[in-house]
Structure 1
Amino acid sequence: MKYMTHLIPVLLLLGVASVTAQGIDTLQGSEEQKRVEMMRTDSPPILDGVLDDAVWSQATVIDDFHQFRPLDHGEPSERTLVYLLYDDNYLYVAARMWDSEPDQIRARQMVQGENTRWDDSFSIYLDPFNNKRSGYRFQVNPNSVRGEGTFETPTRLNYNWEGIWYAEARINDEGWVAEMAVPFKTLNFDPNNPDWGFTLERTIARKQEDISWSSYNRAVNPGSAGLVTGLTGLQQGRGLDLVPSIVTTASRDFTTGISDSQTEPALDVFYNFTPSLTGVLTLNTDFSATEVDDQLINLTRFGLFFPEKRDFFLQDVDIFAFGELRRNGMPFFSRRIGLSDSGQPVDLNVGAKLTGRVGRFNVGVLGVQQDEFDQVDSSDLFVGRLAANVLRESSVGFIVTDGDPRTNLDNSLLGVDFRYRNTSLPSGHSLEGEFWYQSSDTEGVDSKEDAWGIRISSPNTEGLRGYLGYTSIEENFNPALGFVNRRDINYTEASLGYTNRPEHRWLRALTHSVTFRNYDKISGGLESRFLFIEPFEIETNSGDQFGTELTRNREVLVGAFEISAGVIIPPGDYEFDRYGIEVSGANERKLAPSFEVNAGEFYDGDRIEMSAKLDWRPNRRLYLRFEYEYNDIELPGGDFITRLIQINADVAFNVRWSWLNLLQYDNESGSAGINSRLRWNPRAGQDLYIVLNYGFSAEGAFSGLESEQSQFSVKYTQTFRF
C-alpha cells in the first residue's frame, strides 16, 4: 500500500512524459540508415591474419568509410576494406588496413584483455536486437590482443565485460590485417530478427584519427549504427556453457599468526533458454583472480565509489542500469553483495541470474544467497528489473530489490524510470532525458524514504552542449542493495559548454565550460555548493592537452569534520576558491607524461594539490606507469600532507602469457600493498591465474614495512560449450 500511494502519481507523470516525447520524436529529422547484406558461407575461414582463404572472395565487402575524428565525416587518410561472412555458428569479419608508414603502426599492448586505446585497432559493433539502446563491441589490435565490452546505456560502454570470441592480426608491408570470429553462443539475439545494428571502427593512433562506417555526432555506438541484413538460421547449439574452476589458496594473518590453506572447486553454468534469454547459476563462487581496487584518499565527508570488477556481476550488467544513475541514489550496485563495509570478501553460497530480451522487454532477475559474516546472518538477496523499449531510442521500466546484505534488517525497494533519447535532431544534435522515482522500505522506518530525479541534456561533441537536472533524496531513503552517500538533499546541477573544432595545422579543439552544483538540505539550509569554470582547454592534433580551471566551493558543516587523524574542522559556513592548470602529453607516444596542480583556499586554510602521471611503453612487451598524488593542507586545526603512490609494471612474454603487477601506498591509511597476477590464456575461455596479494603497514613510502596479511592463489578455469 505504501508503494501504491506514491506510485500512482508517478505513473501518471510517466504517461504524460511518454506522450510528450512521442510528439518530439515525430518532429525529428531522419537520416537514411546505412545497410549492407551479409553473405553466408559453408566453408569457415582460418584465422591467421593473412587473408589468403579463398572464401573471403565470396564475402560482402565494405569500403565506404569516413573519419569521425578529428573531422566529422571527413576523408580517411588511409584505405580500409572489410569482408563479412557468417555461418550457423559464427560471424566472421576481416579487415585489410593499408598504411603508408607500416613501420609506424602502434602496437604496444600485448597483454590479453588490457587497454588497447593508444594502439592502432579495429572494432566491430553489434546491436543484435536493433534497438539502438544495447549491444557489444569487439576490438583487436595488431598484436591480436582482444578487448570487448557491452553497452550499459546507448552511449556508455562497460569495458569489464568479457565474452568468448577469437581474433588474429598481423602487420605486413602494406599495413595490417585482422580476422575475427564471434560465436553466436556469446551473444543474446532474436533468431527471428535478420537485421542487426552494425558498424565498424578503425583507429590510426599516431595520427589521432578514428574512422567508421556509420557514426553520429563524432561517436560510434548502438544509436549511430547502420544495419547488417540477412542473418538467418543462426544457431546456439544446446545453449549450455559449463565453466568449472579449481582454486588453491594459502593465506596468512601476520598480526594473529593464523595461517590457512584450502582447495575448493567452483562452477558457473550458463544456459540459453532462448537465444535472447540467458540463465546463469554460480556455485561456491570464487573471485580470487579479480583485480584489486585502487587505493584512494578521501578528503570529503562522503563515501567513495569503487567500480564492479567481478565477472559474474558484469554479465549483462546493462539490463540492470536504472535512470542513468552512476553514483548517488543507484537502486542496485552489485558491490554491496559479497563484500563487507570494510571491503573484505564475504562468501556467496549460490547465485542465479536470468537476463535478456523478450520482444520489446529487457528482463533481469538476480538471486544470491550470501553467507553469514561478523554479526550479520546469512541472507537471501533479490533484484528484479523490467524495461520496455518505447519510441525510437527510449525506454520505460521498473526495478525491485529485496534484502540487506550488511545488516539483519528487512529492506526492499521499488523504482520506476523513463529514459528518453533522440539522436536525429536537425543539425546533427542529440537530446536525452531521464525521470526516475524510488521508494525504499526499511524495517523500523515509517517515513521519508523516497527519492526522485529529472534531467535533460544535449551531449554534443561540437558546438553547444549542456545539461540541467534536479534530484531529491529523503533522509531515510535506504537502497540496501544500491549506493547512496548523500541523503536529505535537494540537488541541482547545470552545465554549459562549447567546443570549437577549427581546421588548423596544430589545433584540434578548443573547449570552454561552466558547471554548477548545489546541495540543499531538505531539513533546511545549504550543505554544499560548487562552481567550476574552465576558461579554456586546448587539444592539439598530436593529442597533447592544456587547460585551466577555477573552482568556487561553499561547504556548510553542521557538525565537526575530522578530515585527517587529529585534524578537525569545526562547524561553520566556509567559502573557498581554487585555481588550477593541467598539462598532458599524447598517450600514443612511448613516453606520455601528465601533470595537474591546484592551489588556493580550503575551508579556513590553504591547500596545494598536485598529481603527476608518467606512462612508458618502450615496446609491446613492457608497460610501466607511475602515479603520484600529493596534498599539502594547512588548517587552523592542524597541518597535514597526504601522499598516494601507484606503480604498474606489466610484462607480456607473448600474447598468451602475461605478468601484471600493481604496487600501492598511501600515508593516510599507513598501508602498502602488492597485487601480482601471472596469467596464461591459451585461448578465449581458458585461463590459469597465479595471484599474490600482500599487505603491509608502512611508516613511509614503501619504507618501514611490516607484514600484515598475504594471500597466494592458483586458479584454473575452462569453458565447455555445448
Structure 2
Amino acid sequence: MMYKKVPLPFLLIVVLITAHSSTYSQKKNASFQLNIRKTHLPIVIDGKGDDLAWQDTDVAKDFYMVLPMDTGMANETSEIRMTYDDDNLYLLATFYHSKKADYFVESLRRDFSFGKNDNFLLFMDPFNNQTTGFSFGANAYGAQWDGTMYDGGKVDLNWDSKWISETTRDEEKWVFEMAVPFKSIRYEAGVSEWGINFSRLDLKSSEKSSWTPIPRQFPTASLAYTGTLVWDTPPPKPKLNFSVIPYVLGEISRNTANAEDADFKAKVGGDFKFSLTPSLNLDATVNPDFSQVEVDRQVTNLDRFELFFPERRQFFLENADLFANFGYETIRPFFSRRIGLGVPIQAGLRISGNLNKKWRIGLMDMQTASVDETGLPSQNFGVVSLQRKMFSRSSLGLLLVNKQSTRYIEENDSIYARYNRNLGVEYNLASSDNLWNGKAFLLKSFAPDKENSGITQAAHLEYKSRKWNWRLQEEWVSEDYSAEVGYVPRNGYVNISSFAGHLFFPKSGKIVSHGPKLNTSYFFNEKFVRTDNTSFLQYLIEFRNRSSLEFFVSDDYVELLNPFDPTRLGIASLAAGTKHQWNAFGWEYASKPQSLFTYIFQGRVGGYYADGRLTSLSSELGYRFQPYVSLSANLNYNYIDLPAPWNTNEFWLIGSEVDITFTNKLFFANLFQYNEQTRNFNLNSRLQWRYAPASDLFLVYTNNQMIDPFMPKDWSLTLKFTYWFNK
C-alpha cells in the first residue's frame, strides 16, 4: 500500500509556514489609537447622543475607504466616541451622508445580512491577539448585530448576549448609541489596551469605510488591521458573573404518516453560565430543547457524497471555532450535529475561552439517552481542544474527540460501535499583514472494528493581495480513517487542488475590477491512481454599484467508486468502475443590493454522467417593504437527459420566505419549501418576541407533507418561554 507515511508536500508546506511566520511581528495599524476615559455622568441610551458625558470624549474620524477602492479617504463622514463607567462600555456613532436618498435596510431582524443594509459594526479584540474578539453593531433602523470573532476576521452571529442600543435618523445623518455590560464580554483583567476598529457601509454612495486603512481584498472585520483602544485605567475588574436561562414549553404534535394520535408534551430545562475567570466561561445544559432553531434549507442533491448542514443550536456556538474549525470543510474530526441526532440530549457541560493572551481552551462533555426500539445505547461525547498563539497571529492546536457507548449491549456490537476516538494536531498560519494564510494538520482515529487505526493529514498555503490570489492544497484520508463525531464524507483518497486568480482595476467606468481565476482539483486512490478531477476557468466582474457577474467553463472526469444514481430519484444506478467525462458552461449575475427588488441568476448547461446532459437554472429573488417586510424566493430547476432507464427527468426546488419584523424585538418568519426530488413540502413559521434582553417567547409551527402522492406526514405546534437571569 502506497502513501502510508506523511508525504513530502506536507513536510515542505509545514517548513514554509513555520519559516514565513517568524518574519512577521509588528501590528500593521498600531499607530491608530483612541483614548477612552471613565465617566461619572449618566448616559441614557436613546440614539440622540446629547448627554453631557459625550462632550469629554475623544473622536475617531477621518475614515479610510475600503470599497470600491482602498486608495484614499472615505467620502462620507463618520464620528465615533467611546466612554465607560463601572458597569458598561458605551459607544456613540454619528454617520453623515452627502447623498440625499432613503436609507437602505433589509428589515429589523437581528443579525442582518451585512451587504444589504446601511450599517455600522464595531470589532473588538480585548486580548489584542488579532485572532478572537467580539462584534456589535446595527443597521440604520436599529436592527442589532452581535457575534463572537474567530480566525482573525470571521464573525459567528449565532452568539447572543445582553446589551442595549438605539438609533435615530434625519436628513443629514443617522446616530447609533449602545451600552454593553462588561459582564457580557470576556477580557483579561488589568489590560489597558484592546484591539479595536469601526466599519461603516453606506449603500447610497456604494462606499464601505473603516477607521483604520484595510486593503480591499480583506473584510473590515480583519483583526490584523485593528487600531488600539487605550484605557485611562484598566477596565473594571470583572465581578462574579453567572446566568441561569431556564425554559418551559408546551408542544402538540402528530405523526399522521404512521396514523398516530396527536401527542401533547410539556418540557422544562435550561442553561447555566458561570465565569470561571474573566475570560473563561463554563456552560451547562440540562434537558436542552432546540425547537425554536430555524429548519435546514432543502437543496437539490446531485452529489455522490453526504451533504453538510450547519450547526444552529445555541449551546454549541460560543467559541465554536475551538471545536468545529479543526481540519477542513470536508475533513472535520468534530461536527456537533452528530450529537443528539434523533436521540434526546440529557445534559451537557462546556468550558471554553482564553486562559491568557496566548492560550485558549475548550472542554465539552455531552450525554445522550438510549433508544430501546433500536437498541442504541446511551452515549457520551467528550472533546478537548487546546490552542496556543504563535508568532504574530498563527496558532498551534490539539484536539481529542471521544465517543463512548455507556451501558453497552453486546448483542448490538455489529450495529453500534463501543467507542470512536480522534486525536489531532494542527498548525494555522496567519501573517501579520494577512497576505499569507495556511494550515497543516494530522489526525489519527481509533475504533474497535479497525485493525489499523486510520490516519488523515492535509495542508495548504494561500497568498492574497489586491491583484493576486493563489492557493495550493493537498489532502490524504486513509480508507480506515473513522470520525463518527465528525464530517468526513469521503475516505481512501489523495487530493491535490489549487487555484490562481488575478484582478485588473480600471481607473474609471462602471467596472471596479475584473479578472480570471483557474481552479483545479485531482483525486487519486491510495495507490495514486486517478479517480476523478475537475477543472474550471472563471471570469469575475465586479461593478461599482456592487453588482457582480461571473462566467465559467469546466471539465470533469469521474470514475465511480460505488454505484450511483445520477438523478437520485431511485430509478437505477450506474455501476462502480464506470468512467464518465463532460464539459459545461455556467454563469451567475447578482444585482446591486440598493434596489428594493434584488435578484441573483445562476445557470449551468453541459454534459453529465453516461454521456447525458444536465441543465440547471437557479434564481434568488427578493423584495422588501423596508424596514418591516422582506420577501424572498429561491427557485431551482434541473433538466437531466440520460439514456434508458433514466431517460428524461426534470424537477423543481422552490423555497419562499416571508420575514415580517414589526419592531427590532418582534419577528415573524415563515419558510415554505417544495422539493420535487424528495417529494416533500414543508412549512416552518416562527414568531419571536424578545421581551427583555436575551429573553424570548417563541411560537413555532412546523408541517411536512408528502407530494406525489399527496399526503400529510407530521406537524407540531410549540410554545416556548425563556428568560435570562443574570448576576
Tell me if TM exceeds 0.5.
Answer: yes
Tell me the alpha carbon deviations over residues 625-665 of structure 1, each in whole angstroms, 9 at most, x when there is no partner.
01111110111141221311100011122222211000001
Partner of residue 74 from structure 1, selected from 72, 93, 108: 72
User: Does 1:210 pair with 2:208?
Assistant: yes
1:414 corresponding residue in structure 2? 423
Structure 2 CA distance, aligned partners of 1:457 and 1:33? 28
Structure 1 CA distance, aligned partners of 2:520 and 2:236? 50
Deviating more after overlay: 120-129 vs 32-41 = 32-41
Contact conserved, 2:28 with 2:224, CA < 8 A, in 1? no
TM-aligned CA distance change 1:412 to 1:559, over 3 Å: closer
TM-aligned CA distance change 1:435 to 1:93, over 3 Å: same
Task: Please report how far the alpha carbon of residue 152 of structure 1 lies from its aligned counterpart in structure 2 after TM superposition.
Answer: 3.1
Contact conserved, 1:376 with 1:408, CA < 8 A, in 2? no
Task: Please report how far the alpha carbon of residue 164 of structure 1 lies from its aligned counterpart in structure 2 after TM superposition.
Answer: 2.2
TM-score (norm 2): 0.92
1:630 corresponding residue in structure 2? 637
TM-aligned CA distance change 1:62 to 1:630, over 3 Å: same
User: Does 1:299 pair with 2:306?
Assistant: no
Structure 1 CA distance, aligned partners of 2:254 and 2:722? 25
User: Does 1:553 pair with 2:551?
Assistant: no
Structure 2 CA distance, aligned partners of 1:30 and 1:102? 36
Contact conserved, 1:25 with 1:392, CA < 8 A, in 2? yes
Q: Show the 5 A alignment for 1:104-115.
A: 104-115=102-113
Q: Show the 5 A alignment for 1:303-702.
A: 303-323=306-326, 325-340=327-342, 346-359=343-356, 360-373=358-371, 374-403=374-403, 407-424=416-433, 430-447=435-452, 449-460=454-465, 462-523=466-527, 525-534=529-538, 536-563=539-566, 564=568, 565-571=570-576, 572-603=578-609, 604-637=611-644, 638=646, 639-699=648-708
Tell me the alpha carbon deviations over residues 427-453 of structure 1, each in whole angstroms, 9 at most, x when there is no partner.
xx7011111000000112122500001
Structure 2 CA distance, aligned partners of 1:715 and 1:97? 39
TM-aligned CA distance change 1:609 to 1:404, over 3 Å: farther
Task: Please report how far the alpha carbon of residue 157 of structure 1 lies from its aligned counterpart in structure 2 after TM superposition.
Answer: 2.3
Give secondary structure in 2 for the equivalent of 1:528. Answer: strand
What is the one-letter code of the residue matched to 1:673? N
Tell me the alpha carbon deviations over residues 456-489 of structure 1, each in whole angstroms, 9 at most, x when there is no partner.
00133x2011100101000111122111001101
Aligned residues: 700
In structure 2, list runs of 5 or more residues that go unmatched.
406-414
Structure 2 CA distance, aligned partners of 1:263 and 1:116? 38
User: Does 1:289 pair with 2:289?
Assistant: no
Deviating more after overlay: 152-161 vs 642-651 = 152-161
Structure 2 CA distance, aligned partners of 1:627 and 1:66? 36
Q: Show the 5 A alignment for 1:52-71.
A: 52-71=50-69
Structure 2 CA distance, aligned partners of 1:636 and 1:67? 55
1:46 corresponding residue in structure 2? 44
1:343 corresponding residue in structure 2? none
TM-aligned CA distance change 1:31 to 1:625, over 3 Å: closer
Tell me the alpha carbon deviations over residues 85-123 of structure 1, each in whole angstroms, 9 at most, x when there is no partner.
112222111111112245422134112344353111011
Structure 1 CA distance, aligned partners of 2:328 and 2:563? 29
Deviating more after overlay: 194-203 vs 525-534 = 525-534
1:270 corresponding residue in structure 2? 273
1:712 corresponding residue in structure 2? 717
- Among all aligned residue pairs of Structure 1 and Structure 2, give the percentage whose two residues are the same amino acid: 24
User: Does 1:241 pair with 2:243?
Assistant: yes
Task: Please report how far the alpha carbon of residue 529 of structure 1 lies from its aligned counterpart in structure 2 after TM superposition.
Answer: 0.3
TM-aligned CA distance change 1:498 to 1:11, over 3 Å: closer
TM-aligned CA distance change 1:593 to 1:17, over 3 Å: closer
Structure 1 CA distance, aligned partners of 2:595 and 2:106? 10
Contact conserved, 2:588 with 2:601, CA < 8 A, in 1? yes
Task: Please report how far the alpha carbon of residue 297 of structure 1 lies from its aligned counterpart in structure 2 after TM superposition.
Answer: 2.0
The CA RMSD over aligned residues, in Å, is 2.3
Structure 2 CA distance, aligned partners of 1:251 and 1:463? 56
TM-aligned CA distance change 1:475 to 1:215, over 3 Å: farther
What is the one-letter code of the residue matched to 1:87? D
1:167 corresponding residue in structure 2? 165
What is the one-letter code of the residue matched to 1:361? W
TM-aligned CA distance change 1:635 to 1:377, over 3 Å: same
Give secondary structure in 2 for the equivalent of 1:117. Answer: helix
Give secondary structure in 1 for the equivalent of 2:503. Answer: strand
Task: Please report how far the alpha carbon of residue 161 of structure 1 lies from its aligned counterpart in structure 2 after TM superposition.
Answer: 2.1
What is the one-letter code of the residue matched to 2:124? L
What is the one-letter code of the residue matched to 2:726? R
Give secondary structure in 2 for the equivalent of 1:562. Answer: coil
Give secondary structure in 2 for the equivalent of 1:38. Answer: strand
Give secondary structure in 2 for the equivalent of 1:307. Answer: coil
Contact conserved, 1:561 with 1:569, CA < 8 A, in 2? yes
Task: Please report how far the alpha carbon of residue 511 of structure 1 lies from its aligned counterpart in structure 2 after TM superposition.
Answer: 2.7
Contact conserved, 2:30 with 2:228, CA < 8 A, in 1? no
TM-aligned CA distance change 1:10 to 1:548, over 3 Å: closer
Deviating more after overlay: 107-116 vs 470-479 = 107-116
Structure 1 CA distance, aligned partners of 2:250 and 2:59? 49
Tell me the alpha carbon deviations over residues 281-323 of structure 1, each in whole angstroms, 9 at most, x when there is no partner.
1011010100100111211211100011110001111222445
Contact conserved, 2:99 with 2:204, CA < 8 A, in 1? no
Give secondary structure in 1 for the equivalent of 2:55. Answer: helix
Structure 1 CA distance, aligned partners of 2:404 and 2:527? 26
Contact conserved, 1:285 with 1:350, CA < 8 A, in 2? yes
Runs of 4+ deviating beyond 4 Å? 9-19, 28-32
Structure 1 CA distance, aligned partners of 2:15 and 2:303? 39
1:196 corresponding residue in structure 2? 194
Task: Please report how far the alpha carbon of residue 19 of structure 1 lies from its aligned counterpart in structure 2 after TM superposition.
Answer: 5.2
2:259 corresponding residue in structure 1? 257
Structure 2 CA distance, aligned partners of 1:713 and 1:63? 48
TM-aligned CA distance change 1:322 to 1:118, over 3 Å: closer
Contact conserved, 1:134 with 1:318, CA < 8 A, in 2? no
Give secondary structure in 2 for the equivalent of 1:561. Answer: coil
Give secondary structure in 2 for the equivalent of 1:415. Answer: strand
Structure 2 CA distance, aligned partners of 1:267 and 1:205? 41
Structure 2 CA distance, aligned partners of 1:475 and 1:439? 12
Partner of residue 87 from structure 2, selected from 65, 86, 89: 89
Contact conserved, 2:534 with 2:554, CA < 8 A, in 1? yes
Structure 2 CA distance, aligned partners of 1:392 and 1:514? 31
Give secondary structure in 2 for the equivalent of 1:417. Answer: strand
Contact conserved, 2:639 with 2:651, CA < 8 A, in 1? yes
Contact conserved, 1:519 with 1:528, CA < 8 A, in 2? yes
TM-aligned CA distance change 1:272 to 1:561, over 3 Å: same
TM-aligned CA distance change 1:283 to 1:83, over 3 Å: same
Structure 2 CA distance, aligned partners of 1:540 and 1:255? 51
Structure 1 CA distance, aligned partners of 2:45 and 2:425? 46
Structure 2 CA distance, aligned partners of 1:458 and 1:235? 41
